[in-house]
Every structure is written in structure tokens, then in C-alpha cells.
Amino acid sequence: MPTTHGHLIGGAVVASPTTFESRSSGNRADLVGVFAEATREQVRDACVKAREAFPAWSTTPAPIRGELLGKVGDAIEREKESLSKLVTREMGKTLKEARGSVQEAIDTCRFFQSEGRRLYGQTVPSEMPNKELTTYRRPLGVVGIVTAGNFPVAVPSWKIVPALVTGNTIVWKPSEDAPAVSYAFAKLFEEAGLPPGVLNVVFGGGKDAAGAFLIDMMDEGRLDKFAFTGSTAVGRMVGEAAGRNLLHPTLELGGKNPLIVLRDADLDNAVQGALFSAFATGGQRCTSAGNVIVDAPIYDAFVERFLARVAELRIGDPVAHDDVFYGPFINERFFERWRDHYEWGGADGATLAYGQGRIAAGNAPSGWVGGDPDAGYYGWPTVWTGVQPGMRLFQEEVFGPTINLVKVDGVDAAIDAANAVDYGLSSAIYTMDRDWAYRFKSRIQAGMSSINNTTNGAEAHLPFGGVKGSGNGTRESGIWVLEAYTYWHAVNDDVSGRLQLAQMDTAYVQPGDEVDVAALF
């Protein structure tokens, strides 16, 4: 019987009355680990332990906090290959993509290690004599964090690392789809010397489980900040609870991301970018392309080349085959939701150009690399044509290996179509015309845009986040994320020894007599 891994609360490993299993997404017979299922009381206790740890951690000098995160980066770098393989095994990301996501966590540690020496405030001139005005960044307190399973190392690092460098303590509920990766990730923080109670990890599900319990902790007054990555529907629930408690949550939500291909684009480059945008991680990225919007003069040529490349995509278990383009669905729930979209397309009147639902014995594309497709949940790469902005297929996030090809006429029509969704996370355009590129980046309703590149991809020093249904304006990564985990403290230090009232006692300069310039010459 495999070891059951408990929660990490206050520096101790804590067991639970019930447990759940984590199995490889690509081979459900492969048991990765058994994990404790958190009770409400255990989630509450994790918040208590984080609160107890806050005074000492928040007064630890910021450069020292940064140096500790540098040690975390060293440990992740040392374990990069084993951690990447664990990501591939547990949630089904290809090894190349897994290595990239782990590297992103390393980069995040490196960036915020140096930010520990740059948590600057300001000195502000006073309108009164013998008085100094200064500002300071202060940590918020205890941060509740819930993350998704599609990026089980990179995305948690975007939240955990800046929260720690700014002096906060944390209760983290990782995805139940990647608890083994999350456990290993958290243990590397322990190795680096993070004090007990600063980072607490509770395992379990979302609905009616650990995730919901952690959200409830806002109403109990046990959290000062909440950071969430997941669906827009759940993000609204988090936002409602935060609003009741006057907290400003970080919400990184879904997307229906457009990729525009204009008539002057490098077609081969655009096809390659569209393939990765649509099918990397099996389309299970918040930044995956949902609609490829193609200019009419090149539409037929693009469709022909794109479908030819789709038919060549290698698909299979990335643990057994290191050269596949994408692997399985992360879980059955995602697969079931994805399968439903075939009914949407039929009801909308769209044309199914490629794809036949679940890959199974006797129903596999030519790119299937072999093995038992029933060992996991694998989906055909699916392509729809004849899609229009009013269709459900155009509007709703599918979160799987599916792409819509949308025909428009000209740059303005393309941008209008790109903006005709309720989301605004990522976007991309392929064009060689600088005016068209400028129009796109000026008018697109998205938090992130690429020119002649994919809708995917993030760097540790650039802000990540969306607008409209994709988020609430907060950003992850780079110096911009510091605003999410600190508040500004303004200090008025009067050394005059007497009462001085700004605006009332200010010795404003009095003007002299009016000067008649014409009379001077």
C-alpha cells in the first residue's frame, strides 16, 4: 500500500480521516500517490497557523526573504528533470512543456529574489517645515491560494513567490489533479529554510471540499487576501466572498482567445503558431486559442495547410512517448465537458472539418502513436469551419483540443470578431503590416497580445492577466504583482515640536503687486 501524504500545516504533516488517489492522466492504472482530504477544521487550523507565523515572517528583512527564495530556485533547478517528469506523469503535459513550466518557476524565484532588495517606498516633500512624508509597502497578512492542475508548478509560483517575498503567509489548496507535484514543490520550500507555518498546504477537492472551505475562511475573517486560478464561474464566487469582506482578490480566469491571420501573413509561420496555440497541452490552457480568425483572401489556403498539419499531429501518453504533440485530458470531468461541444457545433450549424471525439480502439487518428487509448481520456484534434461570432461554439471556452476557423474580410472585421466574446485574456495576430499590427494592439480587448507569435507563453517579468470575463484587472508576475500582495502605508513624521495642520497652517507664498509688462519698456 503506497504512503499517504498528509497536509503540510504549521511545519507538521497532518493526516485526515479520508483520502483520495492521484493517478496518471495518461495511464489511469498508474497510481502516483495517495493524499489526505482536508476537513473544514484542518483548513481553519492551517489559517490559524499562518496567522501565528505572520508576525515573525513579516518582520524578517525583505532581502533575507528574497535570499530564501533564491535557495528555492536553486532546489527547483537541481530537481528540474525529476519534477518535470512528475508533471508529465501526473497531469499529462509533454515533457518539453513540463520542463518549460518548471523553468518558469525557477525564473520567478530568480526575479523575486532580487525584488527582496527593491521593495521601495518613496519620500514625498511636505508642504510644512520640519516634517517628512514617506511611504512603505506592507504585507497584507494571510493569503489563501487555489490553483489549477494544468500548470501545477508555474502558476503556483506566480502567487506563492511574490506573496512570500512581500512578507505574507499562505494557505495553499493545490489542484486535486496534481497533488504529487504540489507536495514535491512545497517540500522544496521547506528545504530552503522557510519557517513552519509560513506556507501551509491543504489537499482535496474544490466543490464542497477543501477549496470551498478555504473560500469560506474569508467570511470567518481568517484571510486577508485570496488568489485564484480557474474557471470564470468559480472566480465570480471567489469575488463575491472577497467583496463581502472588502478584500481585493487576484482572479486569473478563463479565455476564448483569438488568433488573427491577415492576408499578408507568413502563412507557414501562422499555421505553426495556430497549431501550438490550439493544441499545446491538449488545448487545456487558459491562453489556448479558441478562434482562429482568417482574412478572406487567404482563408482557403490557410485551411488546407492547417488541416494537413492537424492530421500529422502525434498524440499519445507523453510518459511512454517523448515526441507527442499533446497527451491526455487531465481528468474525466474536463473530457466530458469537451465532448459536449460536439453537440454545440451541430446545433450552431458549424462544419466539422476534422475530429471524431474520444480516441478509442478502432477510432484513432493517423497520428495516434499506439498503445491503449482507453488507459486515459484522449481527444481527437478537432477543427470547425463555418463558425460565426453569434454561435455558442465561438463564444464559450471549450478547454480541450478544439479550434474554430472563422472567415472575415480585412483587419477591422478581424478585430471586431476578436472582441466579440465575453473574455479578454490573450490574443495574437499574424501580419507584416505595421499599421495593421498597431491597429490590433490599440483596439484589442485583452490583457496580453502577441504579434507574429502564439496566444500562449508568459515570461516571469511580464504582467499576466486579462480583462472582461478573464479577470478583475489584477496581474501576476513582474513588478506589477507586488500591488496584489501589499498595501501602501503613508507616514507623516513631524519633528517641529508643534501642531502643524496641512492646508490650514501652510505658509503659502503671497503674490506681489501686479506687473504691467507693457509699461516696463
Short-list 356, 441, 353, 341, CA closest to 392: 341
Other Cβ atoms closer than 10 A to 519: 6
Alpha-carbon distance of 282 to 160, in angstroms, equals 26
C-alpha distances in Å from residue 256, one per residue of 1, 34, 357, 393, 446:
43, 35, 20, 10, 10
C-alpha distances in Å from residue 171, one per residue of 154, 203, 229:
17, 11, 15
C-alpha distances in Å from residue 15, one per residue of 175, 207, 380:
18, 21, 40
Residue 286 designated active-site: yes
Short-list 434, 438, 440, CA closest to 412: 440
Query: 13: buried, middle or exposed (CB in 10 Å: 19+, 13-18, 0-12)?
Result: exposed
Do 165 and 62 meet the contact criterion of CB atoms below 8 Å apart? Answer: yes
Alpha-carbon distance of 37 to 508, in angstroms, equals 65
C-alpha distances in Å from residue 134, one per residue of 94, 137, 505, 507:
49, 11, 20, 21
End-to-end CA distance of the chain: 102
Residue 109 designated active-site: no
Q: Which of 252, 332, 336, 514 is catalytic?
A: 252
Degrees to nearest 5, angle at CA 401 with 398 and 406: 70
Rounded to a whole number, what is the largest CA-CA distance in the chain? 102
C-alpha distances in Å from residue 143, one per residue of 55, 79, 191, 201, 280:
14, 27, 21, 12, 31
Alpha-carbon distance of 350 to 347, in angstroms, equals 8
Short-list 351, 353, 440, CA closest to 388: 351
Q: Which of 286, 332, 396, 476 is catalytic?
A: 286
C-alpha distances in Å from residue 508, one per residue of 129, 131, 497, 501, 504:
12, 16, 20, 13, 10
Q: Catalytic amino acids?
A: 252, 286
